[in-house]
Amino acid sequence: MKTVTTSAPGRVNLIGEHTDYNGGYVLPMTIPQRTVVELKATGGGRATLRSGNLPEHKAVFSYELGREARAGAWADYVQGVTKLLAGEGYILGGFEALVNSTVPIGSGLSSSAALEVAMMRALREAFALDLDDLAIAKLGQRVENEFVGARVGIMDQMVSSLGGDGAALFIDTLDFSFKRVTLPADTDLVVINSGVRHSNSGGGYNTRRSECEQACGLLGVKLLREVPSTGLARVEALPEPLRRRARHVVTENQRVLDAVRAISEGDMKELGRLFVESHKSMRDDYEVSVPEIDLLVELALGESGVYGARLTGGGFGGSIVILARRGTGAAAAERITRAYAAKVPYKPVILVSGEQGADK
């Protein structure tokens, strides 16, 4: 039978962290690193998966469609896909799939969403499924929430499924509306992986979401999106740590709006300032940064061509994103990573450097 080949990109979030599951605004864009799926329908009801990125004893996973069960392995994201597709009435047959990815796992650049979207694209083509790109994003989020156990928002899946062409996506996660926002041509975007792995299915991420829900209950709202930046006095009356968690989300939503405005006006100094303020909020109010990430940001801000830098992704490790003056990003990234590697026992990796860093 015919083999179909599909792919989906990872992403970097410019600003708007932990706002998506609160109904807020986000501003992610795709990166060049991608997950590629080669899938062949085989008949019957068995799915056999192979990863080209793992050692042989971890690379192969096989299961019966309709008998998906969490195994605590990479294949859970695929099992979740087939389980939820079947639950929505889509008809699948047996298949074999080879997965290769250049999106580093645990980097905070959405390797899981890239896998989910690439897999659903392959299944859509192989089994002629009536699935549009937004439906793929929504199902991908449900895979993580309902099957894997990571209570993530929809940002990662939306940008992986709908993003590209060198533009960021300004997404309103309350109604899934979005528009493309292009950074000025005189900027470099740099992404550096700290080497400290994170996991959205770990306890810290889910705890933050629960804390936001507790804050909503005390504020009498369904989502923190309903609290405007002018309503911070109400937030300040919350008990700790809910006060700081809610304050981050409310102020971060405003920072996304301000960032989109700064981009439209070509004000990269203002955008850089917003990056720095966002990082401070994630470090101090949301408490999802780690010392290694803070060090990378500090080193980046010491570079003369850098406008701003911040933790990107869910936190507890992962990567930083840097906004720099065009032509300065690559050299700055080299200096930053050398200084970082001399101070910590982790190997940093420059994933994106220059030309706005977009997935063209």
Cα(341)–Cα(358) distance, integer angstroms:
26
Cα(255)–Cα(252) distance, integer angstroms:
5
Cα(112)–Cα(46) distance, integer angstroms:
22
Pairing of strands 46-51, 95-101: parallel
Phi/psi of residue 203, nearest 5 degrees: -70, -35
- Active site annotation includes 156: yes
Q: Which residues contact 21 (CB under 8 A, 6 or more apart)?
A: 151, 152, 153, 173, 209, 212
Q: Which of 156, 188, 258, 359 is catalytic?
A: 156
Amino acid at 206: N
Q: Which residues contact 123 (CB under 8 A, 6 or more apart)?
A: 39, 81, 82, 85, 92, 95, 129
Q: Tell me if 329 sits within 8 A of 353, measured CB to CB.
A: yes
Cα(173)–Cα(154) distance, integer angstroms:
7
Cα(146)–Cα(327) distance, integer angstroms:
44
CA-based nearest residue to 324, from 343, 342, 302 = 302
Residue numbers annotated as active site:
156
